[in-house]
Amino acid sequence: MIIYKATNSVNGKVYIGLSTLTLEERIKGHYYHATNNHKNYYFYNAIRKYGWDAFTWEVIDQTDDYDELLQLEIHYIAKHNSYNNGYNSTKGGEGTKGVDHAGEKNSRAILTEEDVLLILDLLIVNKKTTREIGEMFGVDKSVINNINRGKTWTHLYEQSPLEQGRKRLHADVSGERNTKAQLTDEQVYDIKHKITHGATKEEIEKEYGVSKQLLQRIIRGVHWSHVVYEGFFIKVEMEEEQARDKEIRIIKEMMADGMTNHEIKQHFDDKYTNIFLSEIRTNKIYKQVTIDRPIGKGYLKLTEADVREIKKFLLQGVKQKAISEHFGVSRALITRINTGQAWSHINIDESQIIPNELKTPRQSVGKKLTEDDVREIKRLLKQGVSHGELAKQFGIARSGISKISTGKRWSHITI
């Protein structure tokens, strides 16, 4: 296993990488992604800008131990300052994603919507096996099979590629030369210009009458890759990074609300693995994405006084949902407290519970929001106001803000 360095002979900036393959095999992977516009990472954008021949490649270290390999990557990225003044987008040590782990399932690999749309294209064209596609994106072939069979990411398409009979829906659609092309090269140039300068995808779809899928394929370089607008891919890369960080922040808010990895995994339709979520929870990855409260294991943020109050509410017949919202924790945690799986050492004197309170359950222990409140909350969320600040302002639990943010509640209210 190797640590390698790619140096830009024009400006001296470097990229540090690790691989379980040979340098020659790894270079082929970089060449594929850079020349096919499938990835818009900073390093690949630089290769497209300066040209393939502007970069020199060399092995700078090697080891037989994978954990040591990760530490070496961190060391050399810091040594060459390639995170702050180079082409590395992280400080290293996260593990590899892509062709390096050809037969392994990489728990850290994340598929974005853009990745899945490209995977769908590859499945429809039927030129690569599911294993080969999995290797391209650093995931197990079972992930690709689930996409192919319509078990995951179904919101991105009406039918799975398998159900469509693997029709060549985008065969020869490289630009306006295709007789079925919806757009001209000039229009695509304008689209890339507008996106680079701040236009949203929704605005482009409406103005040009194109589908979300077609626009994503233009953005990913599947179609009209020959139409180039300077700065377009850098803009796309920045937006992808912001979108990814936003979703990681939502995950951390859910963890702070007391949601388990399994609950979060279900919420995101099995997009993330339990191992990946555990590494977020323990702050091993995405350390740069922060929220204004600790995440821990969920129940650790409750005090013993809180738990006594919760157990009192449970004896009074208050609904677990209302209790969870009041204390800003998950319903699963309230259930564990109720069944003695958590905080079993905390006891209360049941004789202090008023008998008629047991017969008349309280309907709610939290404030009810109006539709106007929710509109204001959504507006403030867009402005970047934290969940904690909004919870204090509107007198509700943070979990309530989190559920509004993720669309689990009040999804019919738009701004």
* pLDDT tens, position by position, 29-46: 777 677 765 454 678 888
Q: Is residue 96 pLDDT above 50, yes or no?
A: no
- Tell me which of 220 and 320 has the higher pLDDT: 320
pLDDT for residue 179: 40
Q: Using pLDDT thresholds of 50, 70 and 90, give the confidence band for residue 404.
A: confident
Whether 225 and 245 share a structural domain: no
* pLDDT tens, position by position, 350-359: 766 654 443 3
Q: Using pLDDT thresholds of 50, 70 and 90, give the confidence band for residue 298.
A: very low
pLDDT for residue 14: 93
| Helices 320-327 and 398-406, packing angle to 10 deg | 100
Whether 11 and 68 share a structural domain: yes
Cα–Cα distance for residue pair 277/298, rounded to 1 Å? 14
Q: Output the DSSP codes for 112-139.
A: -HHHHHHHHHHHHHT-S-HHHHHHHHTS
Q: Span 141-163, mean pLDDT?
A: 67
87 domain-assigned: no
- Tell me which of 87 and 360 has the higher pLDDT: 87
Whether 14 and 60 share a structural domain: yes
CATH (domain of 10): 3.40.1440.10
Q: Span 228-246, mean pLDDT?
A: 78
Cα angle 57, 62, 64; round to 5: 145
* pLDDT tens, position by position, 375-384: 888 888 888 8
Whether 206 and 258 share a structural domain: no
**How crowded is the C-beta side of 199, counted as CA atoms within 13 Å?**
18
User: What average pLDDT does the structure give for the chain?
Assistant: 75
Q: Span 236-245, mean pLDDT?
A: 77
Polymer length of the chain:
415
pLDDT for residue 6: 95
166 domain-assigned: no
Q: Using pLDDT thresholds of 50, 70 and 90, give the confidence band for residue 168.
A: very low
Q: Using pLDDT thresholds of 50, 70 and 90, give the confidence band for residue 127.
A: low
Cα angle 191, 194, 195; round to 5: 85
pLDDT for residue 3: 93
Whether 31 and 60 share a structural domain: yes
Q: Using pLDDT thresholds of 50, 70 and 90, give the confidence band for residue 8.
A: very high
Q: Is residue 121 pLDDT above 80, yes or no?
A: no
Whether 8 and 60 share a structural domain: yes
- Tell me which of 243 and 187 has the higher pLDDT: 187
Whether 393 and 341 share a structural domain: no
19 domain-assigned: yes
Number of domains the chain is built from = 5
Taking the CB of residue 8, how many other CB atoms lie within 10 A of it?
Answer: 20
Measure the N-to-C terminal CA separation of the chain; round to a whole number of Å. 52
pLDDT for residue 204: 92
pLDDT over 70 percentage in the chain: 76
141 domain-assigned: no
Per DSSP, the three-state class of 12 is: coil
Whether 303 and 273 share a structural domain: no
Whether 241 and 272 share a structural domain: yes
Weakest mean pLDDT among 72-86, 131-145, 335-349: 131-145
Q: Is residue 170 pLDDT above 50, yes or no?
A: no
Residue span of the structural domain in which 341 resides: 299-359
Reported for 66-74, long-range contacts at CB under 8 A and 24+ positions apart, including other chains, are 66/1, 66/20, 69/1, 69/3, 69/18, 70/18, 70/94, 70/95, 72/3, 72/18, 73/3, 73/16, 73/17, 73/18
pLDDT for residue 57: 95
243 domain-assigned: yes
Cα angle 375, 290, 114; round to 5: 70
pLDDT for residue 208: 92
Q: Using pLDDT thresholds of 50, 70 and 90, give the confidence band for residue 299.
A: very low
Q: Using pLDDT thresholds of 50, 70 and 90, give the confidence band for residue 166.
A: very low
* pLDDT tens, position by position, 322-351: 887 777 677 777 888 888 877 788 888 776
pLDDT for residue 367: 55
Weakest mean pLDDT among 66-70, 91-95, 371-375, 392-396: 91-95
How many helices (H) and strands (E) the chain has is answered by 19, 3
294 domain-assigned: no
